[in-house]
Amino acid sequence: MKDNLKLYHAKRNFSKTKEPVGVHKRKGKKLHFVIQHHLARKDHYDFRLEHNGVLKSWAVPKGPSYNLLDRRLAVLVEDHPLDYRTFEGTIPKGLYGGGTVMAWDEGYYEYEGDFAKDFQKGTLKFTLYGSRLRGRWTLVHFKKNNWLLIKERDHYAGFQNILEFQTSVRTGRTMEEIENDVSKKMITSKVRGIVDGILISHPQKLVFKNITKFDIALYYQKVYERMFPFLNQRLISTIRFPDGQHGETFFKKHLNNNDVGIGMVHVKSFKSKRSDYYYIKGITGLLSEVQRNSYEFHLWGSQVGDLECPNIMVFDLDPDEGMGIHQVRQGVRDLKSVLDELQLISFLKTSGGKGYHVVVPIYSLKTWEDFRDFAQNVAKLLETKWPQRYTSNGRKEKRQGKIFIDWIRNTKGATSVAPYSIRIRKKATVSMPISWSELDKVKPDEISIDKALKRLKRKDPWAHFFDIDQ
């Protein structure tokens, strides 16, 4: 049985629904289950069992029953991400599944046997340990996507009319209260600019054309799950844009506040008199930076646990003025061919500007000096193989008609723009991870905020970035 979330993602517009984007995750020691009361076009209960990193899901129109004689129809639907089990709220009308969702029951379950094989055979037997559903249960397949949910005989059988429970096991709210609370929260958030508990001042201020400060905060909230693994434990620099589209920008790399979710590290090896460099600990820290008008994020190549040992190498292909996109794309292919010869797995993203970034997770170079020298040698190798196309020298006069293979950002204290970061440009583009097969399809400055959010529905092209050991 192949579990995936493609159908789940295809059915949802995550720029409009608060449902979790979700990814496959490894299961913990206990297998979770959840039952969500779902007041959509038709009232029903969603029964979900954790298996193989997702939630196997059935829609049960009449809900579960402790009566041994009841055979409750359970219609198999698409797999859901594990973090869906904590979802409670309202899906906007007009979207797939539009309506109110309540956490009606949750807990863990035990399964004896091979779930995947039994699923193919059409009989699943399990024991539930929930707040409202307990004991032995069976799901039996009988045609197409139709199954039956049946209570097995034990001391819980015939216990009570379980559907009398009309409140959430998580919040104690009724369906009506959930819907009202969501509506109030949406109104309050838009007026006051509250995102994930962070008050965004001047939320309606235009930062870019048709893009407000509140829009940017919502963007970073939605991409956080994909973006944070790259921010995690890495010193940052940001570009602040306090006065929006008509104002000045400035570069910030030192801590000047005590916001929750921000960590600080003293780095004394630079010429700067200030040593208070900082990093983001979580969603609160990220949104606090947005509140302080930081909209573009740049990262170190090392992490705070070992600042002297970098592990993410970035090559920025910076073309000469007026160079055609086909030449830039050939440059990316040539760089990848060199890295392939060195048996290094690399990843591709748009810069949000003129070029592309080729990113290499690498753990075998233990010092900044080795890291910098290796990156420079790669750039010089391209320069040697194709002297008419590339230069490793950053000076303007050296790159006429050529692409500068920028290796310099792979030095201690240098930074590169983070994956998923907005770029402070006229079009408010995003530095977006893309697959290698998209090189000839996606331009470096093509991904807008809206396009980036829509791409979250797709399979993550960098899903295995942190699994690479080289």
- Please list the pLDDT of the chain residue by residue as tens digits (470 residues): 344 788 888 888 877 788 888 765 655 678 999 999 999 989 999 999 999 989 999 999 999 999 999 999 999 999 999 989 999 999 988 899 999 999 999 999 999 889 999 999 999 999 999 989 999 999 999 999 999 999 999 988 876 678 888 899 988 899 999 988 877 776 666 666 788 878 888 888 889 988 989 999 999 999 999 999 999 999 999 999 998 877 889 999 988 777 889 999 988 765 667 789 999 999 999 999 999 999 999 999 999 999 999 999 999 999 998 899 999 999 999 999 999 999 999 999 999 999 999 999 999 999 999 999 999 999 999 999 999 999 999 888 878 899 999 999 999 999 999 999 999 988 899 999 999 999 999 999 999 999 999 999 999 999 999 999 99
The pLDDT assigned to 410 comes to 97
Q: Is 355 helix (H, G, I), strand (E, B) or coil?
A: coil
Q: How confident is the model at residue 265, as a pLDDT?
A: 92
Is there a contact between 239 and 249 (Cβ–Cβ < 8 Å)? yes
Helix (H, G, I), strand (E, B) or coil at 246: helix
106 three-class SS: strand
Let me know the angle formed at the C-alpha of 328 by 324 and 333, rounded to the nearest 5 degrees: 145
Query: In b/e form, how buried is each residue of 345-365, taking b as 16+ CB within 10 angstroms?
Result: ebbbbbbbbbbbbbbbbbeeb
pLDDT of residue 399: 81
What b/e sequence results for 253-285 when a residue is b if at least 16 CB atoms lie within 10 Å of its CB, and e otherwise? bebeeebeebeeeebeeeeeeeeebbbbbbbbb
Compute the distance between CA of residue 111 and CA of residue 49 in angstroms, rounded to an integer: 10
* CA angle in degrees (0–180, nearest 5) for 39-41-43: 40
In sequence order, what are the residues at sequence separation of 6 or more whose Cβ sits closer than 8 angstroms to the Cβ of residue 419?
226, 227, 230, 349, 359, 431, 432, 433, 462
Asked if residue 308 lies in contact with residue 300, where contact means CB atoms within 8 angstroms, the answer is no
CA distances from 45 to 65, 342, 408, 466 (A): 12, 54, 56, 37
pLDDT attached to residue 2: 43
Residues in the chain: 470
> How far is C-alpha 389 from the geometric centre of its chain's CA atoms?
36
User: What six digits make up the tokens of 442?
Assistant: 């996606």
pLDDT for res 168? 92
Report how far residue 362's alpha carbon sits from residue 311's, in angstroms, rounded to the nearest whole number.
5
